[in-house]
A and B are shown apart, each in its own frame.
Chain A
Amino acid sequence: MKQLFGGGIHPDGHKDMSRGGAAVPVPAPETVVIPLCQHIGSACKPLVAVGDAVLMGQKIGDGEGRCSPVHATVSGEVTAIEEREVPGGAKVLSVVIRNDFKDARAEAKGAEDYMSLSAAEVAAMVREAGVVGMGGAAFPTNSKIASNEGKTETVLINACECEPYITSDDTIMCTCPGDVIGGARLLAKALKARKSIIAIEDNKPEAIAALRAEAGEDELVEIRVLPTRYPQGAKKQLILAVTGREVAPGARSGALFNVTTTANIFRAVTKGQPLLEKIVTVTGDGANAPQNVLVRIGTSFADVIKAAGGIAEDTKQVIAGGPMMGKAVDTLDVPVVKGTNSILCLTKACDAAADPVCIRCGKCASVCPMYLQPLYLYRYAKAGDKEMLNEYYLNDCMECGCCSFVCPGKLPLTETFVQAKQLLKGGK
């Protein structure tokens, strides 16, 4: 199949390591740590105090503006509200709950006639359930639903999961195709779109079959199989691959939802179920038994890894997310948050070159899906030349990592661009 967007790479998938079967539930831990900000936007204010008893599914943090509430994922007692480290290194105010192992649930009620709800009603239920974008950005999903009503002909469901190693979206499609297709129908209807297109890469044949069987002949849902290529799951690349149109700089990119988000929208609306657990892929050559696990949000990486068979002694790197865009963690004492889709354990860290040399081969530019010139951006970033960084559209860079991946001189391209963006913002 011909590739449908410019640039990109085709790294080894490593997906068969963890693929297959249902996600194995990780036992609920002794304590969970629920960060009060697990999305892009303003942080929640705690709704509970130390010593309070909480029910599983009870809302424990919420706030104004672009904010997504958080919920207790176990029943028990609040033992602390303090800053804790989250994957990526930041310290975030978090509610710590001691599990009483009763799983006493807060009442939840879904809508019965969910296909006749308005976008505003769906958005309200999705917000109450704390659903955020699961594809990585963790944007509050309700804002996206509310702002796209009547403005889009098609709803795009992103099932590419183009990062190597990760199979959590794959797993939810294979094991809960009903929630995915249901969510896709629901979104098409609520947003008054003609249909939802589920875009999936051809390296997930089982998921494709499961979705097709579930969807049957349905005018509201189309399953679009795309040739596998990273970063096809990036917003603008996916829109280009599916519609053939490039989103103009700064323009709205429209209604695009990750596939796990879509399933969670369905659960939130039909069952009133808040986002309490998620499928996490524990994988990599450092993982003793690569697999997908079902984890309560707030469970530490250490507990998840232990339940998933542990990791090898010589594990050098543990990454929250995929190998291309994930963040390396310095401790396993960080909680799984809403945006955690994978815990990748590698026995080999990527060696930084001592004195990296650009030979101007231009491979970086040929793989850049945003048509940038990393070789020149790198020079201007090193020189701190803000004017030229703008002229070469540094801010179009989405940090997908393709340039660094292919660079024969092993230049720290993506890393340098992340820092240079701070420079443009007027930071350090």
Chain B
Amino acid sequence: MNLTVSAAPHIRSNETTRKIMLDVLIALAPAMIAAVIFFGVRALVLTAISAAACVACDALMGLALRRKADCVGDLSAVVTGVLLAFSLPVSCPYWVVIIGDAFAIIVVKGLVGGLGQNVFNPALGGRAFVMLFWPAAVTRFSLDAVSAAAFGTVDIVASSTPLQTMSRSVLPEASLLDMFIGNIGGCIGEVCTLALLIGFAWLLYRGVISWRIPAAYVGAVAVLTLIFYRGDNALAWMLYSVMGGGVMLGAIFMATDYATSPTVPAAQIAYGLGCGVLTVVIRYFGIFPEGVTYAILIMNAFAWALDKAMPVRRFGVMKGGAGK
């Protein structure tokens, strides 16, 4: 009998990276469904193309750098592709999405060491890149895009999103209910707060993420916009600020990206607060109405430093030094 000698522990849970990514995709499904309802089938096609492009790029990087890990099977590239598509308007040309995907996977993720090694969120990095060259493709929205063809060019019926209206210090015309269910202009995956909250509940239930980063992020945005409101209704301004634009999508799905966010509980709170504060600052003082992308990308750079700066209490050492 040939006995295998290996180090303890000799049993492992059946948790895998693939299962975690699958849970994230499941959590994104409600927002996908909402996007198809509000923006038409082009939203689905664009998302699928983005996911496929990311997987293809990841596979190429795996081959080029001779990584043994199964980078296609772990589904992480699919998540990146879906998130990048979700952060773009439905009218965005496919080739722009594909360039964003390539930048996200090859430069932001692959060249710095691949899965888990990247400092910046690949989807947001890809979005920031295409925004640099083709800002119109990223920031021009079509409200009635159900008519947008799944293939071929799209006539952009320029219409303003709630955030664009709010950048003029005016409350949007859409009702709060429309904001909540997503019957508004905006990026593919960001409009339906309800769907995003359902996804959040799934991620919490499955233990994929903790509540800390999303709660701190949304909390900071809410408190700041309540205090520094514009117009004459602070509460309404706050609610439109939280539900308009990418705060919910960013707080639940982007800022919680494992590789680019802190793991220490206290650092997660600080990180979430930082994202929220930066989002509001960029929205109020930046040249674009939206601030989520750059807020999270900036905080990405602090993720490891925050972990280091806020160490976990050592077992047996009480706060204040007692027992030391």
Contacts and interface: CB of A to CB of B under 8 A. Distances in A.
Interface of A: 9, 11, 89, 164, 236, 246-249, 251, 313, 315-319, 323-332, 344, 346, 349-350, 352-363, 365, 369-373, 375-376, 393, 396, 399, 401, 404-410, 412, 414-415, 418
A373 B264 contact: yes
Nearest to A251: B316
A313 B10 CA distance: 19
Given A355-B67, A360-B259, 15 more contacts: A9-B13, A246-B323, A249-B317, A317-B6, A324-B9, A332-B1, A349-B6, A357-B69, A357-B114, A359-B116, A361-B20, A371-B314, A373-B307, A396-B315, A408-B16
Interface residues of B, number: 40
B68 A355 contact: yes
Contacts of B4: 316-317, 328, 349
Given A248-B323, A408-B20, A359 B315 contact: no
Contacts of A326: 8, 10
Interface of B: 1, 3-13, 15-17, 19-20, 67-69, 74, 76, 114-116, 258-259, 261, 263-264, 307, 312-318, 323-324
Contacts of A401: 8-9
A375 B10 CA distance: 20
A410 B19 CA distance: 13
23 contacts: A246-B323, A251-B316, A325-B9, A326-B10, A329-B3, A332-B1, A349-B6, A349-B10, A350-B10, A350-B12, A355-B69, A357-B114, A359-B76, A362-B263, A365-B264, A371-B313, A393-B314, A405-B11, A405-B12, A407-B12, A408-B16, A410-B16, A414-B8
Most chain A beta carbons < 10 A, residue from B1, B15, B68, B315: B315
A299 B156 CA distance: 83
Given A325-B8, A359-B258, A362-B258, A331 B315 contact: no
Given A248-B317, A361-B20, A405 B6 contact: no
A410 B12 contact: yes
A315 B9 CA distance: 17
Nearest to B69: A355
A406 B4 CA distance: 22
Contacts of A164: 11
B19 A360 contact: no
Contacts of B74: 357
Given A330-B3, A359-B76, A373-B263, A246 B315 contact: yes
Instruction: Describe A's contact surface by its main secondary structure.
Output: loop
Given A355-B68, A357-B116, A323 B10 contact: yes
Contacts of B263: 360-362, 365, 373, 375
Nearest to A318: B3
B9 A409 contact: no
B10 A317 contact: yes
Contacts of A346: 10
A405 B9 contact: yes
B7 to A, nearest CB: 4
A324 B1 contact: no
Contact of B3 (A316, A358, A376): A316
A361 B258 contact: yes
Contacts of A375: 263
4 closest Cβ pairs, A-B complex: A401-B9, A362-B263, A355-B68, A415-B7
A357 B315 contact: no
B128 to A, nearest CB: 21
Nearest to B263: A362
B75 to A, nearest CB: 11
A328 B323 contact: no
B10 A328 contact: yes
Contacts of A414: 7-9
A332 B3 CA distance: 9
B11 A324 contact: yes
Contacts of A249: 314-317
B204 to A, nearest CB: 14
A358 B15 contact: no
A174 B264 CA distance: 43
A332 B261 CA distance: 48
Nearest to B15: A408
Contacts of B8: 323-328, 399, 401, 414-415
Contact of A370 (B115, B116, B315): B315
B10 A357 contact: no
B21 to A, nearest CB: 9
A317 B258 contact: no
B3 A357 contact: no
Given A249-B315, A371-B313, A359 B17 contact: yes
B186 to A, nearest CB: 29
A358 B116 contact: yes
Nearest to A230: B9
A396 B311 CA distance: 15
B11 A350 contact: yes
A126 B67 CA distance: 57
Nearest to A356: B69
Contacts of A359: 17, 20, 76, 115-116, 258-259
